């Protein structure tokens, strides 16, 4: 009887190898997902399912804007849009949703009372240097009722008008 199965040995080995590879792909491969960048600020704990809406507007010093909008209302479908003038990127639907998910889930906790760490986490994920930011406005609401608005306006080049008289009189 052993001679009957001798011819099937290589076929059984190939099938076994394919099964192992398919299992490894299912375990380790997640498909195409947006890359999350390691932020300089602390960990996360955010989930996109916890966010009711997320509205981000960044104005860069070269007057380019970045706008990201996300909304979800219970059982209704999620809506997401991303527009970046600095990279001419425009996304909507599933692509925008995945980008928003990456930003939210890699940012510091949105319940944090440290707005600067949230700002830095978002900028890190968008690969925007803080020195390039002119204005930053983030407004969001979580499903637990938490609402936050974070605004940052960077002073434009300050004039030398600091209140001091630069013409000294030596009377």
| Per-residue pLDDT tens digits of the chain, which is 171 residues long | 455 656 767 777 777 767 666 666 666 554 444 444 444 444 457 888 899 999 999 999 999 999 999 999 766 678 999 999 999 999 999 999 999 999 999 989 998 888 999 999 999 999 999 999 999 999 999 989 999 999 999 876 554 455 444 454 554
65 within a domain of the structure (yes/no) = yes
78 within a domain of the structure (yes/no) = yes
75 within a domain of the structure (yes/no) = yes
71 within a domain of the structure (yes/no) = yes
134 within a domain of the structure (yes/no) = yes
Exposed (0-12), middle (13-18) or buried (19+): which is 75, by Cβ within 10 Å? exposed
pLDDT attached to residue 24: 60
pLDDT attached to residue 37: 47
148 within a domain of the structure (yes/no) = yes
Q: 3-state DSSP call for residue 167?
A: coil
- What φ, ψ does residue 151 adopt, rounded to 5°? -125, 140
143 within a domain of the structure (yes/no) = yes
Instruction: Name the residue range of residue 68's domain.
Output: 48-153
1 within a domain of the structure (yes/no) = no
What domain count does the chain have? 1
């Amino acid at each position: 009887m052993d001679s009957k199965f001798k011819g099937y040995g290589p076929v059984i080995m190939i099938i076994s190898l394919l099964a192992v590879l398919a299992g490894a792909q299912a375990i380790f491969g997640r498909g195409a997902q947006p890359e999350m960048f390691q932020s300089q600020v602390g960990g996360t704990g955010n989930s996109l399912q916890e966010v009711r809406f997320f509205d981000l507007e960044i104005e860069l010093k070269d007057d380019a804007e970045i706008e990201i909008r996300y909304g979800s209302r219970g059982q209704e479908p999620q809506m997401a849009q991303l527009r970046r003038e600095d990279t001419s990127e425009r996304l909507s639907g599933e692509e925008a949703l995945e980008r928003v998910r990456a930003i939210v889930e890699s940012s510091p906790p949105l319940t944090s009372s440290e707005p600067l760490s949230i700002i830095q986490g978002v900028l890190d994920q968008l690969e925007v240097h803080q020195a390039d930011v002119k204005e930053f406005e983030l407004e969001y609401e979580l499903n637990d009722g938490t609402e936050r608005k974070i605004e940052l306006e960077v002073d434009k080049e300050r004039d030398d008008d600091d209140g001091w008289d630069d013409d000294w009189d030596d009377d």
